[in-house]
Chains A and B, each alone.
Chain A
C-alpha cells in the first residue's frame, strides 16, 4: 500500500509504483500506471483539494484473473455525472476519467465517492503466474 499527502510525496513514489506494476504484470504496467496517475491526480486535487492533512492511499492487488487497484482519498466524495465516455475535444480539463476508462476494464466508486476501484483483466500469456507474484 502507498500512502501520501501531497503531489510532491506522490512524485517520489511514482517509480516504486511503476516497478511494482512491472513485477505484477509487465505487459499492462504502463497503461495501469496511466490510470493510477490520473486517479491520484483526481484524488489530490479534487478529492482532498490539496489539503496536506489528508491522505491518499493506493492499494494494488493481484488475483489469478485480474489486477485490482484501489485509490482512496479523504475528501467529501465524487459524483460521476458523465453519462458517456465522450471527451470534449477542445476542453482543457476533464480527460482524466476518460483516460482511466480507456486503460482499465472497469472502474467504480464506493457509495461516498472517495474511493475508486480499477480492475484490469490480465492476459496469462504476458503475466507471471499468480503464485510467483510479488505484489501481494
Chain B
C-alpha cells in the first residue's frame, strides 16, 4: 500500500492507494500517531484508490479517531467505494467517521 501525507493548514491529508493489510495498518498507525504527537488533530484520509482494507486497518482508523476526538479533532474519510465502502457500512463504522464522497 502507498501512504502519502501532506499538511494543509492545520489538516493532515493522508492519501492511501492499494490494499491495506495488517502490515500496512501498522505503518499507517505509526505515521498518524506521529502527527498527533506533533499536535495535529484534523485528519482527512482519502480512500479513492483503496481496493481493500482489513480489520486491522479499520482498527487503526478507529484508534486515531478515539485519540483526536477528545482534542476536538476529527477523522474524515473520503472516496470510499465498492467493498471498502461496504466494509464501513457492515461494521457500522460509517457512524464513527464523517464519510464523504
Contacts and interface: CB of A to CB of B under 8 A. Distances in A.
A91 interface: yes
Contact of B63 (A11, A34, A92): A92
B91 A90 contact: no
Main secondary structure on A side of the interface with B = helix
B96 A89 contact: yes
Interface residues of A, number: 23
A89 B68 CA distance: 17
Interface in B65-100: 66, 83, 87, 90-93, 95-96
B22 A41 contact: yes
A30 interface: yes
Interface of B: 21-23, 52, 54-56, 58-60, 62-63, 66, 83, 87, 90-93, 95-96
